[in-house]
Amino acid sequence: MASYHIAQVNIAEMRAPLESETMAGFVARLDEINSLAERTPGFVWRLKGDANNATALRIFDNHSIIINMSVWDSIDSLFQYTYYSDHAQVYRQRGEWFRRLQNHMLALWWVPAGHSPTPQEAKDKLTYLNTHGATPLAFNFKQRF
């Protein structure tokens, strides 16, 4: 068993409230895509709220920003899920539901196996990446450590 896993956070700013018609296509796919993640080889953990997803959790002053977090056994497992599974279909449609952010929307970092990162930890990693760029403390798929 590996002693470290890869944690990821991604955020998105909704174009409209989650209950709106604008967001209906995204909401309709949440359970399917989260279930797919959990069945994907390499999946370890994901952040969940009361609705079995993290859409109700708000950690930013801008309450239109939603957060997603997960832990995987390797960067390659996460990369495969993100870009080569049915998740990629949803990812390609993100412009329908979410505004383009000026800062990084994704951060990756290594965590000890068995550690479930907190939303505050994830927020700190995004802040770090936006302030310092990619380093071994926080990075992205293009600049891996």
* C-beta neighbour count of 92 within 10 angstroms: 10
Which of 81-90, 109-118, 129-138 is least confident? 81-90
8 φ, ψ (degrees, to nearest 5): -135, 145
Integer Cα distance of 138 and 145 in angstroms: 9
The model carries a pTM of 0.92
Integer Cα distance of 131 and 31 in angstroms: 34
Q: Are 91 and 80 in contact (CB under 8 A)?
A: no
Amino acid 32: pLDDT: 94
Q: Over 70: is that where the pLDDT of 23 sits? A: yes
Q: Over 70: is that where the pLDDT of 110 sits? A: yes
Q: What is the pLDDT of residues 40-60, one digit of tens each?
A: 999 999 999 888 889 989 999
Query: How, if at all, do strands 65-72 and 98-99 pair?
Result: unpaired
